[in-house]
Amino acid sequence: MNKFRRAFLKTAGAAGALLATAGVGLLKSGEVFAATWNKLAFSSNNMNDAMKNANYGGAVESKDIVLKAPDIAENGAVVPVEVTSNIPGTTSIALFVEKNQYPMVADFELPSGTEPYISTRIKMSQTSNVRVAVRAGGKNYTQVKEVKVTIGGCGG
Amino acid sequence: MSMSRREFLQVLAAASASGFVLNSRPAFSASSGDAFYDLPPFGNISLLHFTDCHAQLLPVYYREPDVNIGLGQSLNRAPHLVGEKLLESFNIRPGTLEAHAFTSLDFAQAARTYGKVGGFAHLATLVKKIRASRPGALLLDGGDTWQGSATALWSKGQDMVDACKLLGVNVMTGHWEFTLGAERVKQVVDNDFNGKVDFVAQNIKTSDFGDPVFPHFALKEINGIPVAIIGQAFPYTPIANPRYLIPDWSFGIQDDHLQKVVDEARAKGAQVVVVLSHNGMDVDLKMAGRVSGIDAIMGGHTHDGVPAPSLVKNPGGQTLVTNAGSNGKFLGVMDFDVRNGKVAGFKYKLLPVFSNLIEPDGEMAALIKKVRAPYEEKLAEKLAVSEGLLYRRGNFNGTFDQLILDALMEVKGADAAFSPGFRWGVSLLPGEDITMEHLMSQTAITYPYSTLTEMTGATIKDIMEDVCDNLFNPDPYKQQGGDMVRVGGISYTCDLREGMGKRINNLMLGGKPLDANRKYKVAGWAPVAEGASGEPIWDVAAKYLRDKKVISPRKLNLPRLLGAENNSGIA
C-alpha cells in the first residue's frame, strides 16, 4: 500500500509538473504570498532582530512546545523538523536557525480550529540552535534544540 | 633474520616489565577450555550476543585500546576504562587469560602465550556448548558482520550471511551492512534470511513518508515466555558512511519512537524486552536513562568489551547495558530468571573466545574453507614483514594506521594525510608477515578510494575539530562512535577541556606552524561524498609494502593531550 501511495504521488507529481510547464497555473507566481511576506523579518541577519521583526519579541521558554529535530543532521540541506504546540489558542508557529545568515526560516499561520502541528524541512549551514516561536492568545512562547551539522565520515 | 633478536628483546622487556616468569606458563589446549567455558545455567531465558565481528571468519589477534577517553559524565566509567584501571574496576587478576582478553597489557607477549581469538568455527562450538545447557537460547548478532574482510567485500557479504545462518543467528541489526547498498541488504533480508533470521531496526524509516523499512522487533517465545528483541541500527549511518548507498532511508536515535515500540511489545505480552543495539555504549547508557521498560540493551559499535553490565536507572525502573567487544573475540551470555511475568534476576558473562581452548566446529570449518577457496592465493600474498606490533584500535593513531598514513604520504607525494578513525582491523605481532588479507582487514570497504586534495591550513583544522567533536562532544547523542581521524605529517595538541572548534591547536607541519591560508597537499581515503574516485587504498598500501619489504616499528604521530590528568581511559 505504501508502495502504491509512493507510486501514485510520483505520477501525480509528474502530471503537476506538466501542467505547470504548460502554463495552466491559475495563480500568478508570487501573488498570493506577496500579501503576507514579512520582508523585514526574513532579511534580518541576526536572531533577535528576526524574532522581533516577525513579532515574536519577548517570547518566554515553554515546555508545552515539543520541538522534534535530529541530534545530528543527516543532510544539512534538508533537516526534518516537527513542532507540536500544546499551548491553548496557538495561532502561529515560526522557525529560526540561529547561525544561518538569515535566521528566519518559516512562519506558519494557523486558522482557528487547526491542530497546532507543523512538519517541514529546513536548511542549515552549520551546527546551530533551532528555535521555534509560538504565538498563543496574543502571547509569545519559545523552545530550542541544538542540531549538529557535521562533515561526516570516519564512523566506527 | 636480523629482527628476531630485536623481537626477542622486546618480548623480554615486556615480560620483565610485567613481572612474568617466562617458563611458568601453563600449557593451553582445547581440553583445558572445558573448564574455562563451564558456565552453570541460570534462570529460564538466555540470550547469546556477539557484535562487530567485522567478518573475521578465522581466528585473529585483536589488541584492545590503551586510550579510550571518557569525559564529562563518561569520565572514569565503563566503557572508558583501560589497562590496569579496567582490571581493578572489574576485579580481574593481572596476568590471566581474562586480563589479556580485556586489556592491551603486555599485548604481544600475552598474545604469543594465549594465542589467537575468535574465528567462526570456534565460535560455533562455543555457541553449541552454551546452547546445550540453555534450551531455547537465542543468538543475537549486533551487526558489523558483513564487512571487514576481503572475502566479505568480494562476496558482497555472502560468506558472512551463510556463516551466520549456519551459526544459528536468530535476530540481527546492522550498520556496515548498509554500506553494501540498500538493495543488497533487502535482498539478503528478503531471501537468505526469510523465515530464518529476523533483521530488526526500529530507527530506520523511509525518508519520504517515514514508513518502516524493517520490522521494529521480533517477538519470540522461550520456554513459554514471550521475549521481544527490538532492533536499534547505527543511528548515524548516513553521516558516518556514504548516504548515497542508502539514499531513501533515514536513521537517527529516535528514543521517543523506541518508547512506543517498547510499550507495543509489552502490550503484545512480552515479559522480557531487550534492545539489540548498534548505538555505541555511551549512547546506550544515555538511552537507558531516558526510555522505560527495557530489561537490557545489548550493544555494540564502539567495540567496547565490557566484562559486566552497567545498571542505569530510569523513570520505569532500571536497565542493564552490555557491550560485547568486536572481531569475534567475545560471546556475551545473558541469563534472565523470569518469574510472575517479569525479570526477577540475571547473570551475565562476557566470554572471551580463545581459539586454542576450543575445538573448531567441523561443519563451520568446512564452510569457511569453501568460501575462501577461490581467493586463497590472493589473500596469502606476503607483502612485507612487520618488525613491530601492528594494531589500529585507540582514540588516536594506531601503528597500522600510521603505516597506512606513511604509505599514503609517500605514494601520493602529500604533505600530510588523513585516515578514518575506524575501530575494526586486526592486530599483527612483531615478526609476522603482512599479507594481503591483513591489509584488507584494515581497508575492505565499498568506497575505498584514495584521494589527494589541496586544502588550506584552516580547512585541515576544521576537519580535525569536526571529527574530534564526534568523539568528545559532551552529549553522547552527538557522538558518532568512531575514533579521532588518524593524522600523518601534522603534529598537534588536543585540549580535552575545550569544546567544538577549540580543541585542536598548535598544528605544525615540517617544523613550522600550519598556515591557515596556505594550501597543502593532503592524501586520504574513504570519502563519503557521492562521485568520489581514486585508486583503492589497498592498492596504494600494497605498493608501498611490496616496495619496503621490511616494515620497521612505526613512530606514532600522537597529539599532546591537555586536560587528560587522572583519566582512567588512558593507560
pLDDT of B1:
37
The answer to the question of residue A13 being in a domain is yes
Residue B560: CB atoms within 10 A of its CB come to 12
Q: Which of A99, A154, A96 is nearest to A126 (CA)?
A: A99
Segment A37-60, tens digit of pLDDT:
899 999 999 999 999 999 999 999
Domain that holds residue A51: 36-147
User: What is the number of domains present in chain A?
Assistant: 2
Instruction: Spell out which residues of chain A touch residue B240, defining contact as CB-CB under 8 Å.
Output: 152-156
Do A41 and A98 belong together in one domain? Answer: yes
pLDDT of B446:
98
Q: How far is CA A113 from CA A55, A86, A94, A109, in A?
A: 22, 13, 18, 12
Name the pTM for this structure.
0.92
Flag whether residue A127 sits within 8 Å of chain B, measured between CB atoms. Answer: yes
Chain A contacts in chain B segment 364-393 (CB below 8 A): none
Do the Cβ atoms of A154 and B421 come within 8 Å?
yes
pLDDT of B556:
96
Do A14 and A45 belong together in one domain? Answer: no
Flag whether residue B142 sits within 8 Å of chain A, measured between CB atoms. Answer: no
Distance from CA of B98 to the nearest CA of A (A): 25
Tell me the one-letter amino acid at A146: E
The answer to the question of residue A153 being in a domain is no
Chain A contacts in chain B segment 224-283 (CB below 8 A): 234, 236-241, 243, 250-253, 256, 280
Alpha carbon distance A125, A147 (integer Å): 11
Flag whether residue A28 sits within 8 Å of chain B, measured between CB atoms. Answer: no
pLDDT of A151:
84
Helices (H), B90-157: 97-102, 107-114, 120-132, 150-154
Instruction: Spell out which residues of chain B touch residue A147, defining contact as CB-CB under 8 Å.
Output: none
Do A46 and A111 belong together in one domain? Answer: yes
Distance from CA of B454 to the nearest CA of A (A): 17
The answer to the question of residue A8 being in a domain is yes
Distance from CA of A31 to the nearest CA of B (A): 29
Flag whether residue B398 sits within 8 Å of chain A, measured between CB atoms. Answer: no
Q: Which of B249, B424, B256 is nearest to B328 (CA)?
A: B424
Distance from CA of B526 to the nearest CA of A (A): 8
Do A9 and A83 belong together in one domain? Answer: no
pLDDT of B142:
98
Instruction: Spell out which residues of chain A touch residue B528, defining contact as CB-CB under 8 Å.
Output: 152-153
- Residues 6+ positions from A16 with CB-CB distance below 8 Å: none
Flag whether residue A13 sits within 8 Å of chain B, measured between CB atoms. Answer: no
pLDDT of A25:
40
The answer to the question of residue A154 being in a domain is no
**Closest alpha carbon within chain B to A70:** B252
Segment A32-43, tens digit of pLDDT:
444 478 999 999
- ipTM greater than 0.90, yes or no? no
Flag whether residue B446 sits within 8 Å of chain A, measured between CB atoms. Answer: no
Do A18 and A51 belong together in one domain? Answer: no
Helices (H), chain A: 2-21, 31-34, 39-42, 47-53
Residue B399: CB atoms within 10 A of its CB come to 22
The answer to the question of residue A107 being in a domain is yes
Flag whether residue B425 sits within 8 Å of chain A, measured between CB atoms. Answer: no
DSSP secondary-structure letter at A72? B
Is the preceding omega at residue B238 within 30 degrees of 0, hence cis? Answer: no
Flag whether residue B348 sits within 8 Å of chain A, measured between CB atoms. Answer: no
Band (A4; pLDDT cuts 50, 70, 90): low
- Residues 6+ positions from B49 with CB-CB distance below 8 Å: B139, B140, B142, B276, B298, B322, B324, B331, B332, B333, B334
Band (A5; pLDDT cuts 50, 70, 90): low
Do A40 and A63 belong together in one domain? Answer: yes
Do the Cβ atoms of B252 and A6 come within 8 Å?
no
Chain A contacts in chain B segment 202-221 (CB below 8 A): 206, 208-209, 211
B443's enclosing H/E stretch is helix B436-443
pLDDT of A24:
39
Distance from CA of B8 to the nearest CA of A (A): 34
The answer to the question of residue A137 being in a domain is yes
Helices (H), B199-338: 237-240, 255-267, 281-290
Taking one residue from A and the other from B, the number of pairs with CB-CB distance under 8 angstroms is 87
The answer to the question of residue A43 being in a domain is yes
Do A13 and A52 belong together in one domain? Answer: no
Residue with cell 598500501: B541
**Residue of A127, A151, A155 lying closest to B236 (CB–CB):** A155
- Residues 6+ positions from B472 with CB-CB distance below 8 Å: B69, B71, B479, B496, B503
CATH number, domain at A142? 2.60.40.2470
Alpha carbon distance B484, B462 (integer Å): 13
- Cell numbers linked to B145: 558482520
Flag whether residue B478 sits within 8 Å of chain A, measured between CB atoms. Answer: yes
pLDDT of A152:
77
Do A21 and A93 belong together in one domain? Answer: no
Instruction: Spell out which residues of chain B touch residue A152, defining contact as CB-CB under 8 Å.
Output: 239-240, 528
**Residue of B420, B421, B478 lying closest to A148 (CB–CB):** B478
Do A62 and A108 belong together in one domain? Answer: yes
Flag whether residue A156 sits within 8 Å of chain B, measured between CB atoms. Answer: yes
Flag whether residue B558 sits within 8 Å of chain A, measured between CB atoms. Answer: no
pLDDT of A18:
40
The answer to the question of residue A102 being in a domain is yes
Instruction: Spell out which residues of chain B touch residue A75, defining contact as CB-CB under 8 Å.
Output: 238, 243
Distance from CA of B477 to the nearest CA of A (A): 6
Distance from CA of A150 to the nearest CA of B (A): 7
Do A21 and A40 belong together in one domain? Answer: no
Decide if B90 contacts B308 (C-beta within 8 A). Answer: yes
Q: Which of A25, A57, A51 is nearest to A38 (CA)?
A: A51
Flag whether residue B36 sits within 8 Å of chain A, measured between CB atoms. Answer: no
Question: What does the mean pLDDT of chain A come to?
Answer: 84
pLDDT of A11:
55
**Residue of A74, A80, A156 lying closest to B301 (CB–CB):** A156
Instruction: Spell out which residues of chain A touch residue B236, defining contact as CB-CB under 8 Å.
Output: 72, 74, 155
Can you list the residues of chain B whose pLDDT is less than 70? 1-32
Q: How far is CA B498 from CA B71, B495, B560, in A?
A: 11, 6, 14
Distance from CA of B112 to the nearest CA of A (A): 28
Q: Which of A82, A81, A41, A65 is nearest to A133 (CA)?
A: A65
**Closest alpha carbon within chain B to A80:** B207
Do A18 and A48 belong together in one domain? Answer: no
Alpha carbon distance A156, B423 (integer Å): 5
C-alpha dihedral over B184, B185, B187, B188, to 10 degrees?
120
**Residue of B234, B253, B467 lying closest to A154 (CB–CB):** B467
Residue B555: CB atoms within 10 A of its CB come to 11
Alpha carbon distance B251, B201 (integer Å): 9
Flag whether residue A113 sits within 8 Å of chain B, measured between CB atoms. Answer: no
Instruction: Spell out which residues of chain B touch residue A71, defining contact as CB-CB under 8 Å.
Output: 252-253, 475, 477-478
Do A20 and A45 belong together in one domain? Answer: no
Domains, chain B: 46-61+115-369 (3.60.21.10), 381-562 (3.90.780.10)
Q: Which DSSP string do the residues of B291-305 spell out, in sequence order?
A: --S-SEEEE-SS--B
pLDDT of A8:
59
Do the Cβ atoms of A148 and B473 come within 8 Å?
yes
Residue A62 has pLDDT above 90, yes or no: yes
